[in-house]
Amino acid sequence: MIKLLYIFLFAFVVTNCSFKKVVKHHGVPFLEKKQKSLIINETTSNDIRRILGAPSTKSKFDNDVWIYIERKQTQSKIKNLGKMKIFKNDVLVLEIDSYGILKKKEFYDMDDMNNIKIVKDTTSASFSRNSFIYDFMSSMRQKVNDPLGVRAKKRKEINQR
């Protein structure tokens, strides 16, 4: 009976294990291949939507900027306890003019993103303890904490004694 139980547990474990890696896909599939069919000064916004679909992100400055993303993750090796690892991360940035014509196209893959330098400078606070903003916010905090001024009256009475 125990041998049968061991065989059943072993079969259960083996059938649930898969040798094929699980891949989580987010965004536009085959973005690198599809972006090659986009031609600057010829492709229209309708063509872009037909080829790539709706953009992941849109922004409007002087021209429209459409951003498309493709990201693939898979589980890492057993020694990392199966944490998800990114193995493909592509970004396509398209700039479209007011007539709906593609004017600029930039494609970034993981190697390009690793080469981007991020500035480590920080900005300092623009107020000090003697500034108008600090004084105003302090008085507002005091009024919120003690709207009737009861604490201030009690402090005066204690100090007078």
Q: Is residue 45 part of a domain?
A: yes
Q: Is residue 34 part of a domain?
A: yes
> What Å distances lie between residue 128 and 11, 39, 121, 125, 135, CA to CA?
70, 54, 20, 8, 9
pTM for the model: 0.58
Q: Is residue 37 part of a domain?
A: yes
* Total structural domains within the chain: 1
- Cα–Cα distance measured from residue 42 to residue 29, given in angstroms and rounded to the nearest whole number: 23
Q: Is residue 8 part of a domain?
A: no
Q: Is residue 5 part of a domain?
A: no
CATH no. for residue 29?
Answer: 3.30.1450
Q: What is the pLDDT of residue 39?
A: 92
**Residue 68 sits in which domain range?**
20-116
Q: What is the pLDDT of residues 6-58, one digit of tens each?
A: 787 776 666 655 566 777 888 889 998 999 999 999 999 999 999 999 988 88
